[in-house]
Structure 1
């Protein structure tokens, strides 16, 4: 698995963001039974920048905690059989890894939501990565049935990495 992290802004999180991200991403890939080595891009930013992206990409005029930009369109969430191994678009030509997509996280939201929900920022950060990885696998939470499935998978990932509320 390749994880490419970029960080912008002055806010710093007081834990090893790369270590936690890799731990959660590995657990998510294992849970999804991903048959390929994968590549994920992670941008840690601040509210102003994620607000701009949220408006541009989703038409929502406010900052959000996390944005997910999957590279693959799944017929069914987590069904990697739709990926044609001969298809150059899905794989990095240099590494051969499956390019799952991009995750963008607001560090300000990590801190404020951790305080709001009464847990550590590390837990909030890990949760947002778990949540976003499921989006990169094609899961969504727009209707109750999908939300229930996604919440169960998020819980399973968090338990697998041993990060609890």
Structure 2
């Protein structure tokens, strides 16, 4: 398992962010019964940088809490059955499944924790799980998909003892 974490924000989170990220990446993969060792990149940036990335890649000129850039498409979210058909889905050196990139905003982690009345630990854990589900093909654009994704997020966080 390779979880590459880069901290590029000037604003410091006063929580064990590396531990939380690692724990939630693994918990998400375990919950979805991912049969492969995986590779995920997580970058923590400030609002200006996430706004720039959001504008460049999505054409949306505003900051956001998290961006997910999946490397693979899933016919069925969380179903890894046919992933081996795509040879580019795996790192040729390590053999690990390339899941994708997660970009997180420090300001949004801090502000949303305050707004929702929970800890920064809980907010970071939630955003990592949310993004991991995106990397495994889940989305929330349709109401049924949103409910399924929210249910999975809640269950993963509960299994890891993280509550509001």
Where on the TM-score scale, by shorter chain, does this alignment land: which range?
over 0.9
Q: Which residue does the alignment assign to 1:81?
A: 81
Q: Give the Cα separation in 1 of the matches to 2:161 and 2:23.
A: 10
Q: Which residue does the alignment assign to 1:154?
A: 153
Q: Give the Cα separation in 2 of the matches to 1:107 and 1:28.
A: 21
1:72 aligns with 2:45: no
* Secondary structure in 1 matching 2:92: coil
Residue 82 of structure 1: CA displacement?
Answer: 2.1
Q: Which residue does the alignment assign to 1:135?
A: 134
Q: Which residue does the alignment assign to 1:118?
A: 117
Residue 92 of structure 1: CA displacement?
Answer: 1.0
Residue 153 of structure 1: CA displacement?
Answer: 0.2
1:56 aligns with 2:27: no
Q: Which residue does the alignment assign to 1:35?
A: 35
Q: Give the Cα separation in 2 of the matches to 1:9 and 1:138.
A: 28
Q: Give the Cα separation in 1 of the matches to 2:83 and 2:24.
A: 23
Q: Which residue does the alignment assign to 1:98?
A: 97
Structure 1 runs, 4 residues or longer, greater than 4 Å off? none
Q: Give the Cα separation in 1 of the matches to 2:12 and 2:82.
A: 39
Question: How many residue pairs are counted as aligned between the two chains?
Answer: 164
Unaligned runs of 5+ in 1: none
Residue 15 of structure 1: CA displacement?
Answer: 1.2
Q: Which residue does the alignment assign to 2:25?
A: 25
Q: Give the Cα separation in 2 of the matches to 1:94 and 1:80.
A: 20
